[in-house]
Amino acid sequence: MEKIYPEQAPKRDSNKIYFLIAVIVALLGTNAYLFFKDKKANDRIVTLSDERSRMEVEIDKIEAELDKSNNANIQLTADMREEQELARQKISELREQLRRGKLTQGQLAKAQREIEQLRYFVNKYTSDLQELQKQNAALTIERDSLRTTVDNVNQRATQLEQQNTELSSKVKTAAALKAGTVNVTPLRVRNSGKESDVTRANAAKKLRISFTVADNQLAEKGMHDVYVRIVDPNGNLIASDNNNVFSADGEDLQYTYRTAIEFDNTGKIFNIDWTNPNEFQKGTYTVLLYADGYAMGKSSVTLR
pLDDT over threshold 60, residue 207 = yes
Q: How many angstroms separate the CA atoms of 45 and 104, rounded? A: 10
CA dihedral 147, 150, 156, 162 (to 10 degrees): -100
Instruction: Output the DSSP codes for 199-265.
Output: --TTT--EEEEEEEE---SSSPSEEEEEEEEEE-TTS-B--S-TT-EEEETTEEEE-SEEEEEEE-S
Q: State the pTM of this model.
A: 0.51
In this predicted structure, what is the pLDDT of residue 27? Answer: 64
Which has the closest alpha carbon to 274: 178, 223, 204?
Answer: 204
Instruction: Output the DSSP codes for 123-142.
Output: HHHHHHHHHHHHHHHHHHHH
Q: How many angstroms separate the CA atoms of 245 and 237, rounded? A: 12
Q: Which of 2-11, 103-112, 215-224, 259-268 has the lowest mean pLDDT?
A: 2-11
Q: What proportion of the chain, given as a percentage, has pLDDT over 70?
A: 77
Q: How many angstroms separate the CA atoms of 26 and 4, rounded? A: 42
Per-residue pLDDT tens over the stretch 128-171: 777 877 888 888 888 888 888 888 888 888 888 888 777 777 78
Residue of 66 and 298 predicted with greater confidence: 298
Per-residue pLDDT tens over the stretch 170-183: 788 888 999 999 99
In this predicted structure, what is the pLDDT of residue 245? Answer: 93
Per-residue pLDDT tens over the stretch 245-289: 999 988 999 999 999 999 999 999 999 999 999 999 999 999 999
Q: How many angstroms separate the CA atoms of 281 and 277, rounded? A: 12
Per-residue pLDDT tens over the stretch 77-136: 677 777 778 877 887 887 777 777 656 667 667 766 776 777 777 777 777 777 877 888
In this predicted structure, what is the pLDDT of residue 242? Answer: 81
SS3 of residue 7 by DSSP: coil
Residues in the chain: 304
May I ask the CATH class of domain 179-303? mainly beta
In this predicted structure, what is the pLDDT of residue 44? Answer: 47
Which has the closest alpha carbon to 108: 288, 193, 186, 100?
Answer: 100
pLDDT over threshold 70, residue 25 = no
